[in-house]
Structure 1
């Protein structure tokens, strides 16, 4: 097993570029995952792991063996989705190297180098006849994107579509704030017009959370193929959604302000859809 002890190692410098620069992640098709749960979810979500790095004082070789065993058992379970093979490239790293690579101050000593997916809208398919989709237009804050992904995972949504993304999906802030839900959701990106055209071609009803020409969200039938579309708190949704929506919807506000955090609004709307579907 290889060991890297110096932060000046050429490979470690390459990994630091992946950690800090979206351009490098896009150019190489690689990104970093930090944490045992996140790495496990990525592998189970069919992400290919190129390399595992571990700091033995926090993540022992015995834990590494346990992780490998659990993934092998997942593959041996009847009807389970086949996950990629455990990576052959495993590197033990020093405390200095780990602290340089780690994004969080308190983690379990495990970092993976993974291969990104294309996340293309044209590849999106559904397993159900009445899919429930969460669409978010131009979310800027990685924390909000992470929260949206957690909401979609909790509701077992069929897909999350990011329109006009302002940051790449493999930003370490998104992975951290989603607690690995980036890997548990079916996530794709596209332009607003591409997404509208896609939804219409699939006969999916579009419910846009927008003030103009709207009705209260709970008056609508979300049991049919449904896309719930939310925008940013600052600017809301673009005009294209207003004019192309099956129905514009609003969450009635009873306080002094007229808006709420996008992830909170998405949670209210998507779980109303789940309630109507008897949480199926």
Structure 2
């Protein structure tokens, strides 16, 4: 049975959840965030996230479906259509939301369990949509970790959760400064391949079957000099049109799947 029913958007709990949805500061302060959608909640549960509260709109998602979905103790709140529309981020969704606890993402906590890791590093990404697309690619390739250097937005931004279709929960993700991440990679003897225009060789000439970090930056500014000065080798994707760069998530996909292709033959 639901622990309670909430029908007013003026309810204090709903006000707090609206802040979680809208404010990065609130997510960081409370260590909580909002998840919307059955698939995303399922992936969060599979990824070991702790769910505090489930909220459901019974005309779209039944209590029986809630009980089938959730596999851990959690408060269950039935909400009205008005409350649901206040909290929901997407125009079309299944009528279910969850409040979950964030996970620590410091590079100091990142454990690499393979001798030949494949890691994707992204420096200072700003657009949640790009971050989400990168996380989908990383999940598809089953990389060992995604590391975000100098992050500009928190991982639990609703746009990242939405655009990653829940892959923010399926990847092993760490964050840190560029200097911290370079030190981490060097300490573990992981080769650093920087996607850059200068002093570069074509990406498919390199051996990505060994311990490898592929590093990409933003389309606007590229990678900082700290990365370029510590690169094992700069790599480039040859362009045959008029432009000299492509969307960062597309570039990351090309480079990561070349590494996966090479590893099939080693």
Q: Secondary structure at the match of 1:236?
A: coil
Equivalent in 102, 105, 108 of residue 122 of structure 1: 108
Equivalent residue, structure 2, for 1:164 = 150
Q: Could you tell me how far apart the structure 1 residues matched to 2:235 and 2:227 are?
A: 11
Moved more, 8-17 or 58-67: 58-67
Residues 23-47 of structure 1, C-alpha deviation per residue, up to 9 Å, x if partnerless? 0000000000000000010011011
Cα distance, 1:87 vs. partner? 2.9
Equivalent residue, structure 1, for 2:7 = 5
Q: Secondary structure at the match of 1:62?
A: helix
Flag as ranges the 4+ runs of structure 1 deviating above 2 A: none
Q: Does structure 2 retain, via aligned residues, the 8 Å contact 1:152–1:160?
A: yes
TM-score, with length taken from structure 1: 0.93
Residues 187-212 of structure 1, C-alpha deviation per residue, up to 9 Å, x if partnerless? 01000011001000000000000111
Q: Does structure 2 retain, via aligned residues, the 8 Å contact 1:98–1:109?
A: yes
Equivalent in 47, 50, 66 of residue 49 of structure 2: 47
Equivalent residue, structure 2, for 1:60 = 62
Q: Does structure 2 retain, via aligned residues, the 8 Å contact 1:147–1:263?
A: yes
Q: Could you tell me how far apart the structure 2 residues matched to 1:148 and 1:184 are?
A: 12
Equivalent in 190, 198, 211 of residue 204 of structure 1: 190
1:188 to 2:174 alignment: yes
Equivalent residue, structure 2, for 1:142 = 128
Q: Secondary structure at the match of 1:140?
A: coil
Residues 78-134 of structure 1, C-alpha deviation per residue, up to 9 Å, x if partnerless? xxxxxxxx2331101000000000000100011000000110101111121100000
Cα distance, 1:67 vs. partner? 1.4
Q: Does structure 2 retain, via aligned residues, the 8 Å contact 1:142–1:177?
A: yes
Q: Considering only aligned residues, what root-mean-square deviation do their CA atoms show, in Å?
A: 1.0
Cα distance, 1:176 vs. partner? 0.3
1:18 to 2:4 alignment: no
1:236 to 2:222 alignment: yes
Equivalent residue, structure 1, for 2:88 = 102
Q: Secondary structure at the match of 1:181?
A: coil
Equivalent residue, structure 1, for 2:258 = 272
1:133 to 2:119 alignment: yes
Q: Does structure 2 retain, via aligned residues, the 8 Å contact 1:52–1:87?
A: no
Q: Secondary structure at the match of 1:227?
A: strand
Moved more, 55-64 or 9-18: 55-64
Q: Does structure 1 retain, via aligned residues, the 8 Å contact 2:51–2:74?
A: no
Equivalent in 234, 243, 248 of residue 262 of structure 1: 248
Q: Secondary structure at the match of 2:5?
A: strand
Q: Secondary structure at the match of 1:65?
A: helix
- How has the CA–CA distance of structure 1 residues 33 and 279 changed in structure 2, closer, same or farther, with 3 Å as cutoff? farther
Structure 1 gaps, min length 5: 72-85
Q: Could you tell me how far apart the structure 2 residues matched to 1:154 and 1:41 are?
A: 14
